[in-house]
Structure 1
Amino acid sequence: MDRAAPEPADRSIVIPAESLGDLIAALKSEGYQVWGAQERDGALGLAPLAGAADLPRGRVEAAQPGTVTLVDGPRAAFFDHTLPMQGLKRVVYPAQERLCAATDAMTLEEDPVEAPPLAVIGVRPCDLAALNTLTAVFEAGPFVDGRFRQRREALFLVAVNCMRPATTCFCASMNTGPRAEAGFDLVLDEIIDADRHDFIVTAGSPRGHAVLDALSGENAAEADLETARAGSRACAEAQSRGMPERIEVLLKESYEHPHWSEVAERCLSCANCTLVCPTCFCSTVEDRSSLDGAQAERWRRWDSCFGLDFSYLHGGAVRTETASRYRQWMTHKLSHWHDQFGMSGCVGCGRCIGWCPVGIDITAEARVLEASEQAA
């Protein structure tokens, strides 16, 4: 499926906010499960939606380094919140899954992939970029991960262009948002003013056009589209964080910088940043056997470069200090990822900032390195 090759002319319609449930119903009638952000235990997570009422309407994140809480926002918007705790990664690349099993009859059976048609509504542009990044990792090389591909191809993506940023967002500096240009089946712009509360719905793929045709709405006027574009521009301008433009080169020149030891004094090596990151893909494989020896299983689960055993080679671990592990994560994410995959491994979502228990801010650490270079 090629979402980057839509029908000859993308079509946009305007629907009233109360018709958002009609979109969810149309997706279900096409055979999709529908997931979206829901509030659980004071945080946002992706979960099945019964209807539009399940969305965290009117709620926004109060995000700071080390803290993400939900509070009431100033208006009854469906999508003034920004990001669930984890993005699409957990959908297309589960935290753990059984790959195969062997029995005492010495037969090996690969587990089938569970990839039901799934529509996710409310996907942000940075998470679309993250899915594109993971696709480059798992599908663009000589060895294609078929399990990932099947799950990705089963997705129907309903994106939402951002009209307000969380304080931890920095997608504008990474050129991944706040407006989606491709990679979606449908994209929504939520327009609210004194006289209206509407959605502009735009199709971005043949499947998206088919769902759009099932909705009742007037074609969007150019004034509507410009209102939406202006909202995204204002969102970009409101972002207070950003990544230095030279970070790719700067990190390669900062291998021995003393700041890594300063970060290590704060870092817990807990791996929270890699778990919530929408592009971190490291994994390990475990072989498990039943107590009676009748069956052996092979599982794949997420791993993290912050673990001491992650860099274990014969005789011991290579990165024994927290400083070297943090340096590895940040340098790979922002620098060597370009060498491997032709793009950055960071999409500017800011999750690592908010979910770090001690509030380490990747953009602030990058600025320290930049300031040192400028002072030299």
Structure 2
Amino acid sequence: MVTNALRSLWAEPRAADAPDRMWRDWVLVGVVMVTALLEGVFRDDVAWRPFATIVAVGLAPVLFWRRTQPLACVVVGFGTAMALGLATLAGGPRSVGLPSLIYILVLVYALVRWGSGREIVIGLTVVLVAAVIGTVADYTGPSDFVGGFGILTAAAAGGAAFRYRAESWRRALDQVRSQERVGLARELHDMVAHHVSAIAVQAQAGRAMAGQRPEAGLEALAVIEGEASRTLAEMRAMVRVLREGAPAEYTPQPGVADLVSLARREPVPVVDVEVPGDLGELPLQVDAAVYRLAQEALTNALRHARNASRVEIRVGEGGGRLRLHVTDDGQIDPARASNHGFGLLGMTERVQLLGGTLRAGPTPGGGWTVDAELPTEVRR
């Protein structure tokens, strides 16, 4: 079991989406450099003052690369600490280096948080060797020994905890995206079946009428051409967002016209649905997406809106965009305002895949609003 765990750790890739250098990094490095400089200037018990100060200040910029090059930063930081410990063992003064050098513990956290498994194993070995040398060179008692290794362990454990949390969140997001793609795959099947059925009917009608009215065959061919063009365009739009194949149970998908089925007068909250009667023909994937978005938003409102008396679902069209507006008049649940659950993530993923936008949040007068916009024309 231990061997398998080590092999798995050794093969672990680097954590995904390591952030680039941010303004906080500049602030951190600046604070560390100023602190080390002030400590080196004003403390009276600093051994090898100029050298120790230069080392503490000069190592600070290494923090800039702690995410992109975690192993190299650990080797530089703890290699320097190892050299200071060896200098003490070779007969130099005790406690060479400034206490502010403790900032190199950030490198341990970054190594475990962002490094690959191979980098983690090698880097922690370097850290352990440097810690042992430093402890032997400046040993003052068992309490310092336990405390020092405890701090190192805490830094590594913090990196591992945040790495596990981020990885769990990423996998959950991937699962949401996969579920959305399965839904889109069902809609692709329904869309193709709809258009191919229309093509087949027109072909049969043209064949039946060709003997009596030759022009009927030409009319049927024109309709078939139009249906085939729409089918290809919608298939391209749908396939463009599908990156994985997944088995699905193919069932008819509800659309905008089916939103009226969500309306109710009782129990409270009342659900009011308004759908314009002059909507043009929508791409099937957009038609189904609007229904699912409204359904999910309504479910969230019924679940989270406290003391709500009314939920409104409005659909409008204009400027080549279809707009969905869902709002309730309930009291805002603080947990709802601060928690972006997977339902909202799934809605956002679906809208973005179809080239639209989605906004959700509390309204100034109270309640919660979901606004979505989707294109009414298929992108080719």
Judging by fraction of residues, say which structure has more strand: 1
Same fold, TM-score > 0.5, yes or no: no
Judging by fraction of residues, say which structure has more helix: 2
Point out which structure has higher relative CO (alpha carbons under 8 A, 6+ apart). 1
TM-score (norm 1): 0.20
